[in-house]
Structure 1
Amino acid sequence: MGVVQCLFNCFSPSDQAFVTLATNDSYARGAMVLGKSLRNHNTSKKLVALIGPQMSDACQSVLKRIYDEVRMVDVLDSGDTAHLAMMKRPDLGVTFTKLHCWTLTHYSKCVFMDADTLVLSNIDELFDREELSAAPDPGWPDCFNSGVFVFRPSMETYGKLLQYCTEHGSFDGGDQGVLNGFFSDWATADISKHLPFIYNLSSIAIYTYLPAFKQYGGNAKVVHFLGKTKPWSYTFDTKSKQIAGSVHEASTHPTFLLEWWTLYSSAVVPMLQEIYGDQPFHSGCVAVNCLDGSLSSLAQALQPQMSSEERKEKWEQGQADYMGMDSFDNIKRKLDTFLK
């Protein structure tokens, strides 16, 4: 009986956790949706949120209702303004704070997920993988994307990571550069540590290989809202179930964006309203039916008309109008016409 109990304890779900990071109230909303999506898909694992000291008490309260553990951590900053400027993402400096996840040594194994990810089905099978398992980055597949990865908490590893940061810095100014530098043999050493892309599907890269998305996109288990414009940057009309807001980075697939907002408006906003009470707060939801037409027509209405030459240049620069003229439906329609 003792052996059986030992085996149970060794593989108990309470010894494993999904971990995310939110350094401010904006990313806290992403973490709330991520946590809810994990719960909705019946994970058996613990949920842990690492938060920064700037987060409001209200957001902390909601996170504590969703996550098993909410831990305040010091915000680390790479200070690498040169590389961050190259990426045009000065906000990524604080992502070094992600390294704190290795200090969660009361867990034997964890899966880290960025706060701008959304779970589409149960992914507990990721805990069968070993450190450092991750999916290839769509921009440079010999690097892994650090938005989803499997790791084993260890103070020794944490110390080595900090030492690596001190001695080598980060080639992109953020955590992804550090982690790829530290786990430098990921691309070649062990194929079992390469997660399929469906565990970290980039919402802004799905059209770069349209036939593959058409073939495999329906199997996606995790969508990652990469880029500067996050789901919470938009506005959602609760009556028409339409999304408005900045369409500058309109390449995010509208289906995934709608799924994020549907979960946020139905499960997270009521908790925020309960916490805030009569105090005003901006949920991002509006109750006015002001958005007539589809997401595609909305994007077209807000975008200035381009000449064919300008449109060609945008395509060559990887800036196609994915929610408007170059939407999935329009491209599919043209392909179908061509194939006929």
Structure 2
Amino acid sequence: MSDQAFVTLATNDNYAKGAMVLGQSLRNHSTTRKLVVLIGPHVAEPCRDALHSVFDEVIMVDVMDSCDAANLALMKRPDLGVTITKLHCWTLVQYSKCVFMDADTLVLSNIDELFEREELSAAPDPGWPDCFNSGVFVFRPSKETHEELLKFCAEKGSFDGGDQGVLNSYFNTWATADISKHLPFIYNLSSIAIYSYLPAFKQYGHDAKVVHFLGKVKPWNYSYDAQRGEVRGHSVSPDPCQMHPNYLLQWWQLYAASVLPLMQKAYGDAPFSSGFVNQSSPVRARRVGVNEKQNGVGWGRCSAGEVGSFQAVCGNGPVHSPQQMVGVESISQVSFKQLALALSAFQGELHQDAREQDQFPPPPSQRVSSEERKQRWEAGQIDYLGDDSFSNIEQKLNSFLK
């Protein structure tokens, strides 16, 4: 279908990596539609070259900022301002219908059936289900709609400072007008929802078609130990357990098998952040900062040993082949006991870091109500050493599995 396309947006090199993983996941699942990426001027030339290897069209757009600092500050997400650039997707009038997908999404199976939906079709937002989440939506490109959206932004702004507020205000009948425009949650499964309603994830998670890595910390903010087949967390992550370990590992495997070779070819001998842990890094999975260029984070060109160690673990076949995926099972086979163990490992890391960095014990935590604790959990404010410790989480998980 040459007149229909999947569209994504990359305003910098990190989101370009995410866009390439998304694009490759669509190709791995045999999409018949075109792939288009909108990029900002801050995407480096080598990244643009790599994007051309995955996408049918790479289109430069001006990065717009909502300039709504007050609303963004309330959300503690000042990085969302430039996402208003997403509105440029309505200018792609060479296509009759498109599906927009954020660069922090990952496709788990063929989703071409989304093109049977009409504008504006989207899945509910887990934080406020009467709003749709703008990470995945079906739309019809139109210069008229684009002009109206820009005018709407100028006159009314955005209630959250980003594109989701604008789009929900503009398409304000989504919640009640036409149920057929409500995409099932499996087309935009968020990590937040997985941990806020575990029984539903256990029941329906195996049908997920798109996973959305919501939140400030993205898959590319972590690092990857190819030799061990492990994803290592950065200290910038306040809520690492919200990123489902199997999905996160799948993202890194796809990046290593299909995207990293494109980056190496594009950059040549020039340095770039591979995200791989160096061979000489310590055995313990220490947490490292985003801007650290040493202590185990693979900056610069990946060595042949790093790529070779990945191939030794994962094999040379398609990354989506079940026989060659390292530790990635179908969700129906995922053990919640294993999930609890993963949380236990992170808790152990916190204890170790605490011993290294602070000799003074933390003050005793104040008891909070069940409702307040739930709100903190959904906001990513998780008390790993208190009420949300491994033993308490394991006890709760076991109660669901009985």
With the length of structure 1 as denominator, give the TM-score of the two structures. Answer: 0.89
Q: Does residue 1:325 correspond to 2:390, yes or no?
A: yes
Tell me the matched-pair count.
325
Conserved 8 A contact 1:111-1:151: yes
> Would you say 1:212 and 2:212 are equivalent positions?
no
2 CA distance for matches of 1:290 and 1:173? 42
Structure 1 residue 330: Cα displacement: 6.5
Aligned equivalents of 2:213 and 2:260: distance in 1?
A: 20
- Trace 1:242-261 onto structure 2 (pairs within 5 A): 242-246=230-234, 247-250=237-240, 251-261=242-252
Code of the residue aligned with 2:47 in structure 1: it is C
Percent identity, please: 62
Is residue 2:175 matched to residue 1:128? no
Alignment match, 1:158: 146
Residues 156, 253 of structure 1: CA spacing in aligned structure 2 closer, same or farther, 3 A cutoff? same
Q: Residue 273 of structure 2 aligns with which residue?
A: 282
Asked if the contact 2:199–2:400 (Cα under 8 Å) also holds between the matched residues in 1, the reply is: no
Displacement after TM superposition at 1:316 (Å): 4.9
* Cα distance in 1 for residues equivalent to 2:13 and 2:392: 32
Q: 1:291 to 1:113 in 2, by over 3 A?
A: farther
Give 1:298 deviation, angstroms.
3.8
Matching residue of 1:272: 263
* Post-superposition CA distance 1:111-146 (Å, at most 9, x none): 000000000000000000000000000000000000
TM-score, reference length from structure 2: 0.76
Paired residue type of 1:86: L
- Once residues 144 and 326 of structure 1 are traced to their aligned partners in structure 2, the CA distance between those partners, rounded to angstroms, is 35
Once the two structures are TM-superposed, the CA of residue 290 in structure 1 deviates from its matched residue by: 4.7
**How far apart are 1:334 and its partner, in Å?**
4.3
Contact 1:23 1:75 (C-alpha < 8 Å) held by counterparts: yes
Aligned-residue offset at 1:292? 6.1
Distance change (3 Å), C-alpha of 1:307 and 1:194: farther
Is 1:37 the counterpart of 2:9? The answer is: no
Seen in structure 2, the aligned counterparts of structure 1 residues 80 and 284 have a Cα distance that, compared at 3 Å, is same
- Counterpart amino acid of 1:107? Y
Q: Is the 8 A contact 1:133 1:193 kept in 2?
A: yes
Distance 1:134 1:193 in 2: 6
Which residue number corresponds to residue 170 of structure 2? 182
1:145 to 122, 130, 133: 133
Tell whether the 8 Å contact from 2:222 to 2:232 is kept in structure 1 after alignment.
yes
Does 2:346 match 1:299? yes
Question: d(CA) in 1 for partners of 2:125 and 2:79?
Answer: 19
- Could you say what the CA RMSD is over the residues aligned between the two structures, in angstroms? 2.3
Change (3 A) 1:277 1:203: same
Instruction: Assess, with a 3 A threshold, how the Cα gap between structure 1 residues 14 and 212 changes in structure 2: closer, same or farther.
Output: same
Residue 307 of structure 1: CA displacement?
9.1
CA distance in 2, matches of 1:265, 1:222: 20
Decide which moves more: 224-233 or 281-290: 281-290
Per-residue displacement from partner, 1:184-237 (whole Å, max 9, x unpaired)?
A: 000000000000000000012212111100000111000000000000000100
Paired residue type of 1:131:
E
Are the structure 2 counterparts of residues 182 and 316 from structure 1 closer, same or farther at C-alpha, using a change threshold of 3 Å?
closer
**Unmatched runs of 5 consecutive residues or more in structure 2:** 286-340, 355-361
When residues 56 and 162 of structure 1 are mapped into structure 2, their CA distance, relative to the original with a 3 A threshold, is same
Contact 2:122 2:134 in 1 (8 A): yes
Q: CA deviation at 1:274?
A: 1.4
Distance 1:215 1:66 in 2: 34
* SS class of match (1:141): coil
Residue 149 (structure 1) shift: 0.2
Structure 1: runs of 5+ lacking an equivalent:
1-12
What secondary structure is seen at the aligned counterpart in 1 of 2:131? strand
